């Protein structure tokens, strides 16, 4: 943790210190996050009072609270009226894109991501797909099946359905492009929100063929619907992982509850 006030952005408009031209509260949050991971708050892990931090960083208490809210939702610190905040755990690396993009995730682990295209078709959307992608009856979709690999080893079967606007872009990508997500981002398709559901299913014949497992053997399934900032669905995907290759992890609290438990729906 710095003892001095945060410097304003460096002279040049480009990248600055720890965080690039970000908001003030993000710089404070980044600095506090580092202080936490380096154990700067001692054994007990009690943070300074908000007022003290405000003075230390030369910002208002509101800004400090914004920074602390970030750490709170990441599960790094507690908060309770009447007492100082306490360090909860060490930082876990996690970012939205890491969850959204197999490629990004693989690289963050130092593994080499791969994608083997199995099929790509344009066809009428079924009822479930129309529901998920909010399409009109009779609308078409692009459906893609890919085998995803880590350093050459099969890990996951990805079945993604795109609405026409997005699918047309994907269909034009060379077959050997590994990250569709990154390509779409460069074409101006923004992924900002996603709903995930995680459960277990038995491998069907296609899963078995692609993953090299037996039919009926268990797979960890993640279904995901992603939308852009306007709320328009841009992707509906169903990923099936071989057991032992992946685990999903989440933090929640009384204050911010994101995860929920459901009875399994029919499909």
Partner DNA sequence: GAGTGGTCTAGACCACTCA
Partner DNA sequence: GAGTGGTCTAGACCACTCG
* Contact residues: a copy of itself, CB under 8 A: 45, 73-75, 78, 80, 83, 86-89, 92-96, 98-99, 105, 109, 191-202, 217-220, 227, 229-231, 243-265
Residues 205-244, mask of contacts with DNA (x by CB under 7 A): -------------------------x--------------
Cα 238 to Cα 236: distance, rounded to the nearest angstrom: 7
Residue 50 binds which entry of a copy of itself, DNA, none, with Cβ cut-offs from 5 to 8 Å by kind?
Answer: DNA
DSSP 212: T
Residue 107 within binding range of DNA, rule CB under 7 A: no
Two tokens, residue 250 = 């989440």
Shortest distance in whole angstroms from residue 46 CB to a copy of itself: 10
CB-based burial of residue 31 (10 Å sphere; 0-12 exposed, 13-18 middle, 19+ buried)? buried
Site for DNA in 47-86 (CB under 7 A): 47, 49-52, 58-63, 65-66, 68, 79-85
- 93/175 with CB nearer a copy of itself: 93
Shortest distance in whole angstroms from residue 73 CB to DNA: 12
- 2/74 with CB nearer a copy of itself: 74
Two tokens, residue 7 = 């410097």
Asked whether 197 and 222 are in contact (CB, 8 A), the reply is: yes
Cα 108 to Cα 102: distance, rounded to the nearest angstrom: 10
- SS3 at position 94: coil
DSSP 152: T
- 78/197 with CB nearer DNA: 78
Residue 164 binds which entry of a copy of itself, DNA, none, with Cβ cut-offs from 5 to 8 Å by kind?
Answer: none
Within 10 angstroms of residue 172's Cβ, the number of other Cβ atoms is 9
Cα 138 to Cα 124: distance, rounded to the nearest angstrom: 6
Residue 25 within binding range of DNA, rule CB under 7 A: yes
Cα 181 to Cα 22: distance, rounded to the nearest angstrom: 24
Binding region for DNA (CB under 7 A)? 23-26, 47, 49-52, 58-63, 65-66, 68, 79-85, 230
């Amino acid at each position: 943790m710095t003892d001095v006030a945060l410097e304003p952005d460096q002279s040049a408009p480009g990248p600055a210190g720890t965080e690039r031209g970000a908001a003030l509260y993000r710089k404070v949050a980044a600095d506090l996050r580092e202080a936490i991971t380096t154990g700067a708050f001692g054994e007990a892990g009690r943070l300074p009072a908000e007022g003290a931090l405000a003075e230390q960083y030369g910002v208002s208490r509101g800004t400090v609270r914004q920074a602390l809210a970030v750490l709170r939702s990441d599960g790094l610190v507690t908060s309770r009226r009447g007492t100082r905040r306490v360090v909860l755990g060490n930082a876990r690396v996690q970012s939205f894109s890491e969850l959204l993009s197999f490629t990004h995730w693989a690289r963050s682990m130092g593994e080499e991501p791969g994608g083997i295209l199995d099929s790509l078709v344009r066809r009428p959307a079924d009822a479930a797909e129309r529901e998920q992608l909010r399409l009109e009856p009779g609308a078409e979709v692009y459906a893609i099946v890919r085998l995803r690999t880590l350093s050459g080893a099969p890990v996951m079967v990805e079945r993604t359905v795109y609405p026409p606007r997005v699918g047309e872009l994907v269909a034009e990508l060379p077959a050997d492009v590994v990250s569709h997500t990154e390509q779409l981002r460069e074409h101006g398709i923004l992924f900002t929100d996603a709903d995930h559901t995680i459960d277990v299913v038995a491998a069907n014949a296609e899963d078995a063929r692609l993953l090299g497992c037996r039919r009926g053997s268990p797979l960890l399934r993640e279904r995901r619907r992603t939308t852009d900032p306007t709320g328009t669905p841009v992707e509906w995907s169903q990923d099936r992982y071989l057991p032992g290759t992946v685990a999903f992890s989440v933090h929640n609290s009384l204050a911010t509850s994101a995860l929920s438990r459901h009875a399994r729906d029919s499909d």
